Structure 1
Amino acid sequence: MNSKVFKLILLGIGAYALFVFMVMSFYPDKPEDMDWQDREEYNKVQITKLKLGSTKQEVWAMLGSPDITEAKMESGTPIQVMFYRTQHVRADGLTTQDECTPLLFENDQLIAWGEGAYQSYLKS
């Protein structure tokens, strides 16, 4: 009798592990579906994986759409800053620039990120 119970328990654990594996494989987290706390943590991790020269489309595929964006033309070159929420500052229900990490794009390629990148964008 004990061996039957043991086999059923092992079968149940195996079925559960298979179910978890299938869910994680076929239903990956999308940034758009996360609550703001999970999205902040996700953005922090993904931003550490960025590489200079990445295209805007590659960044969108990794991080989803930005929380805030700005753009301008500088000597005929398009420059865009996309802000992704990475730190909670105040509980007001709004995402503001001081709660985000800016990513600076020139000609749709990532050239810098962080507060220094945004300050250089403002000066140019």
Structure 2
Amino acid sequence: MKKLLLVAALATPLLSGCIVAVSDGEVDHGWVKHNGNWEKTQHDNRKKIAKLNIGADYQSVLNSFDTPEFTELVKKGDNVYQVLFFATNSKHSDGKVTKDECTPLVFKDAKLIGFGDSAMAELL
């Protein structure tokens, strides 16, 4: 312990004028899109979602967006449900994306059955 304190004391003058970044393992991949303009990303996602039609194919929808922030997959009875979450409304402005800042797109057997909270209620 004494050696660690000694090393820290000796290294401190060497760090003046430097920035030391420490990460807790969380990386913000979502806002790198559009050259770091997260507002444009969210706006574009909202525009794309507004143009979706019920019955749209999972792969074609996935291809028209950037990588989803979150994904879920569940089998219920004979049906397979896939949910893609896209950032659409920042609430926390902390640089991290949470599910409550996303709009879910819900697919049943690879066909879009809806989006938003009401579509998610279908899975419950």
The match for 2:87 is 85
Kindly, what percent of the aligned residue pairs are identical?
32
The match for 1:73 is 75
- Whole-angstrom distance in 2 between the partners of 1:119 and 1:93: 28
Where does structure 1 differ by over 3 angstroms across 4 or more consecutive aligned residues? none
More helix by share: 1
TM-score by length of 1: 0.68
Report 1:4-83 matches (<5 A). Answer: 33-34=33-34, 35-83=37-85
- Whole-angstrom distance in 2 between the partners of 1:64 and 1:109: 19
Which structure 1 residue ranges, 5 or more long, are not aligned?
Answer: 1-31
- Shift in Å, 1:58: 1.1
- Whole-angstrom distance in 1 between the partners of 2:39 and 2:77: 39
The match for 2:119 is 117
- Shift in Å, 1:36: 1.6
- Shift in Å, 1:80: 1.0
Q: What SS does structure 2 have at the residue aligned with 1:61? A: helix
- Shift in Å, 1:97: 1.0
Which structure 2 residue ranges, 5 or more long, are not aligned?
Answer: 1-31
**Could you report, residue by residue, the CA deviation over 1:19-39 in whole angstroms, capped at 9, with x for unpaired residues?**
xxxxxxxxxxxxx74132111
When the two structures are aligned, how many residues end up with a matched partner? 92
TM-score by length of 2: 0.68
Structure 1 pair 97/33, CA: closer, same or farther in 2 (3 Å)? Answer: closer
- Whole-angstrom distance in 1 between the partners of 2:118 and 2:75: 19
1:100 equivalenced with 2:102 (yes/no): yes
- Whole-angstrom distance in 1 between the partners of 2:92 and 2:33: 22
Q: What SS does structure 2 have at the residue aligned with 1:90? A: coil
